[in-house]
A and B are shown apart, each in its own frame.
Chain A
Amino acid sequence: MKANITGPATRDTDLERSQLEAELAETWKTPSGLWAALATVDHKIIGRRYILTAFVFLALGGILAALMRIQLAQPEARLIGPDRYNQIFTMHGANMMFLFAVPVMEAMAVYLVPLMLGTRNIAFPRLNAFSYWIYLAGGTLLWLSFALDMAPDVGWFAYVPLSGPQYGAGKRADIWAQMITFTELSALAVAVELVVTIFKQRAPGMTLDRIPVFVWAMLVTAFLVIMAMPAIMVASTSLILDRLVGTHFYNPAEGGDVLLWQHLFWFFGHPEVYIIFLPAAGMVSTMIEPFARRPAFGYLALVMALIATGILSFGLWVHHMFVAGLPRLGNSFFTASSMAIAIPAGVQVFCWIATLWDGKPVFATPLLFIIGFIVTFVIGGLTGVMVASVPFDTQVHDTYFVVAHFHYVLIGGAVFPLLGAVHYWFPKITGRMMSETLGKWSFWLIFVGFNLTFFPMHILGLQGMPRRIYTYQPDMPWHGINLFVSLSAIILVAGFLIFFLNAIRSARSGSVADDNPWAAPTLEWATPSPPPSYNFARVPVVSGSHPLWDCSDGLAVANGLRTDRRELVVTSLVAAEPQAREASPRNSIWPLWAAIATTVMLIWSIFSPWAVVWGSIPISITLIGWFWPKSIPEDES
């Protein structure tokens, strides 16, 4: 390693700006070369990898959706057989939920949260690197199984007894269950990093009431992940135990309970919807400010809505089980909570409308996606209130009405804001602007294509078309609408193709972006585009909720950090007062080795329970290597 320019224990107060930047660049850099790329713990590099990988999975999941639409365009189609179709809809759902939606939101946070908080790296950066490799391994496992025609075929929620040993032959359900373990492990790791980063690494002066709404959203989301995901990990592990070891968690004949699976799955599965939606809502609240050219209306109400939604999301799961035979009075409690959660969601919608109403809107592409989100999400929310009612849900359960509803909520509520966010933060991440012309084309094609594709599915559902059927008879009254839906999907696909084309083209040859091209108020825009490895040469000090709008003559900064080692400021929980200087770990290859060892153990455990015993030995070795002192300045901390 190249030595630092100055001596040991040099503080940033001792250096001129250019010398300071050179010193920090040396300390925080990711060297060139494959080995260094594999060992990096820079949150920006890992965040970029996460985002790119998640969008690859989005494209793959989109191809599966297109295949399903081709199959369903006409009755008695023979393009795809029933077994492959079962794999395709299972892959589509599992891929979109576990490999795209949750990871991409956390990926955006991995990149953005440290920048928005004015710190130099995420907390536990090696765990962050580990989480990415584990996520990649889980996704690869699932798609390899699909390529080998042994993908899961039990639906994205893998109900028992269909997925149990009696009906789920082969290893398909095991692959689903272990993919869950990979992705949830990864999500839990990122959630822990985000909580610690937000609680302890905020810029001095960033009190609770000055935290950007997106960061609040990610804090709530992280807690949701921490509380919800253990339920599904317990469920998937006990399923594997039933299938491999012969336990009877879900076997009623031996005292097990199939409904236990539904409770465990949906105790995770419903908060999962909000794990996807809340970051998107946070993105909207943050992005809307520069385009409305005023602060978001009702900061307090927006934050309250995020927290209340997050907590209430744990009291909704039984509305997925209304036809499972539970007592009606018990069900009514979940109806009440499902309707009550519309209140905080409505509060947010009204705050966004008020912000635009009182602002001077600039209708750039990100704002178009925000408006498209509001329209689409409100429709999805309204059908959500409809299916929260037991009598109505009983009628449309497992029909295309539900398919329409959750695509309105998930694509409308998460993908629209996400696409807006990509356009918005693209210049920060790449240093180049995306094309506005192509952006507007992609928005209108996606918005129109989406509504033409999914709105008629409500009608199909009301006409009784069930979900997950690979074909239907010509005498059913569904042919015309199905053909219309499939043709409309072409428009939607065209919109996404233009979006991807725009992103690739702009990354290569887009116009160069300056530090703050949208004149936005949050801290990530106070550093160059793209940011240097150390994020901020001097740690910013915040005195308002919109630092770059409040301090037009420049931000105050904190001094006194060492430059010869990776160091950041730890602040207090409520008032964000500086408490300590803390070292941040250097690059390390050990997270990759640990991820490889964990991957071997998890995949091996699909075939033998002894894998857990023998596989834990290499994992322990890699963890010892990970934490072993390396006689570097960071070890002094």
Chain B
Amino acid sequence: MTTSTMMSHLLLWAGLWLAPLVWAVNMQLGQILPYADCRSQLHATAAASLIGATIAALSGLASWRSARPSSADAGAPDETISFAGNLSGLAALVFTFALIMQGIASMMLTGCEK
């Protein structure tokens, strides 16, 4: 598998691996950063969530753009490539929404509440 083929595969499925990965990392940050937020009155948790939401949205965009038949690899029919890209793009939307919700929650709390 050449580098360009691997890149096109990664982009095609980005919404299904990168967006959940960012969300999973942010879930962990959500357990760690509140302590820092409470001590320093930062909004690091909110910032992390919103940066994550941006990455998730971009991963969905990358998948959606890769769904065009012209960028498909020769190993699969155009419909299947299109399906994979659109599937990934739609899934990324759900994770973007979850990350935005987490970001909004982070802005409403200080991190000190028990």
Report which A residues bind B (CB closer than 8 A): 207-209, 300-301, 303-304, 307-308, 311-312, 314-315, 325-330, 332-333, 335-337, 339-340, 343-344, 572, 574-575
Known A308-B95, A332-B105, A340-B101; further 9 A-B contacts with Cβ < 8 A: A207-B80, A300-B87, A304-B90, A325-B114, A327-B34, A329-B45, A332-B102, A332-B108, A574-B76
With a cutoff of 8 Å between Cβ atoms, the chain B residues found around residue A330 in the complex are: 30-31, 34
Q: Is there contact, CB below 8 Å, between B24 and A336?
A: no
Q: Is there contact, CB below 8 Å, between A574 and B109?
A: no
Q: Is there contact, CB below 8 Å, between B111 and A209?
A: no
As a 0/1 sequence over residues 95 to 114 of chain B, the CB contacts with chain A under 8 angstroms (1 = contact) are 10110011011101111011
B30 CB → nearest A CB, Å: 4
With a cutoff of 8 Å between Cβ atoms, the chain A residues found around residue B108 in the complex are: 332
Q: Is there contact, CB below 8 Å, between B87 and A327?
A: no
Assuming the contacts A333-B105, A574-B76, A575-B77, asked whether A340 and B97 have C-beta atoms less than 8 A apart, the reply is yes
Q: List 16 A-B contacts (CB under 8 A).
A: A207-B83, A208-B80, A300-B83, A311-B23, A312-B95, A315-B24, A315-B27, A315-B98, A329-B34, A333-B26, A333-B30, A333-B31, A337-B27, A340-B94, A574-B75, A575-B80
5 smallest beta-carbon distances between A and B, as pairs = A336-B101, A328-B113, A332-B105, A209-B83, A340-B98
With a cutoff of 8 Å between Cβ atoms, the chain B residues found around residue A303 in the complex are: 87
Assuming the contacts A330-B31, A336-B98, A340-B98, asked whether A304 and B113 have C-beta atoms less than 8 A apart, the reply is no
Q: Is there contact, CB below 8 Å, between A343 and B109?
A: no
Q: Is there contact, CB below 8 Å, between B75 and A327?
A: no
As a 0/1 sequence over residues 17 to 40 of chain B, the CB contacts with chain A under 8 angstroms (1 = contact) are 000100110110011001101000
With a cutoff of 8 Å between Cβ atoms, the chain B residues found around residue A308 in the complex are: 90-91, 94-95
Q: Is there contact, CB below 8 Å, between B106 and A344?
A: no
Q: Is there contact, CB below 8 Å, between B91 and A304?
A: yes
Name A's interface SS: helix
With a cutoff of 8 Å between Cβ atoms, the chain B residues found around residue A339 in the complex are: 101
With a cutoff of 8 Å between Cβ atoms, the chain A residues found around residue B31 in the complex are: 326-327, 330, 333
Q: Is there contact, CB below 8 Å, between A327 and B80?
A: no
As a 0/1 sequence over residues 37 to 56 of chain B, the CB contacts with chain A under 8 angstroms (1 = contact) are 10000000100000000000
**Assembly CA distance A333 to B101 (angstroms):** 8
Assuming the contacts A300-B86, A315-B24, asked whether A207 and B113 have C-beta atoms less than 8 A apart, the reply is no
**Assembly CA distance A340 to B27 (angstroms):** 13
- Nearest to A339 among chain B residues (CB) is B101
Residue from A303, A315, A572 with most neighbouring chain B CB atoms (10 Å): A315
- Nearest to B106 among chain A residues (CB) is A329
Q: Is there contact, CB below 8 Å, between A209 and B94?
A: no
Q: Is there contact, CB below 8 Å, between B106 and A332?
A: yes
B52-76 CB contacts (< 8 Å) to partner A: 75-76
**Assembly CA distance A325 to B114 (angstroms):** 6
Assuming the contacts A207-B80, A328-B114, asked whether A312 and B105 have C-beta atoms less than 8 A apart, the reply is no
Q: Is there contact, CB below 8 Å, between B109 and A328?
A: yes
With a cutoff of 8 Å between Cβ atoms, the chain A residues found around residue B34 in the complex are: 327, 329-330
Q: Is there contact, CB below 8 Å, between A307 and B16?
A: yes
Assuming the contacts A327-B113, A340-B101, asked whether A333 and B27 have C-beta atoms less than 8 A apart, the reply is yes
Q: Is there contact, CB below 8 Å, between A343 and B90?
A: no
With a cutoff of 8 Å between Cβ atoms, the chain A residues found around residue B102 in the complex are: 332-333, 336-337
Assuming the contacts A330-B31, A332-B105, asked whether A312 and B98 have C-beta atoms less than 8 A apart, the reply is yes
B103 CB → nearest A CB, Å: 9
- Nearest to B29 among chain A residues (CB) is A333
With a cutoff of 8 Å between Cβ atoms, the chain B residues found around residue A207 in the complex are: 76-77, 79-80, 83
With a cutoff of 8 Å between Cβ atoms, the chain A residues found around residue B75 in the complex are: 572, 574-575
Q: Is there contact, CB below 8 Å, between A304 and B87?
A: yes
Residue from A207, A209, A333 with most neighbouring chain B CB atoms (10 Å): A333
Q: Is there contact, CB below 8 Å, between A575 and B111?
A: no
With a cutoff of 8 Å between Cβ atoms, the chain A residues found around residue B106 in the complex are: 329, 332
**Assembly CA distance A306 to B84 (angstroms):** 14
With a cutoff of 8 Å between Cβ atoms, the chain B residues found around residue A335 in the complex are: 105
Q: Is there contact, CB below 8 Å, between B86 and A329?
A: no
**Assembly CA distance A343 to B93 (angstroms):** 10
B2 CB → nearest A CB, Å: 17
Q: Is there contact, CB below 8 Å, between B105 and A307?
A: no
Assuming the contacts A307-B91, A308-B91, A311-B20, asked whether A329 and B83 have C-beta atoms less than 8 A apart, the reply is no
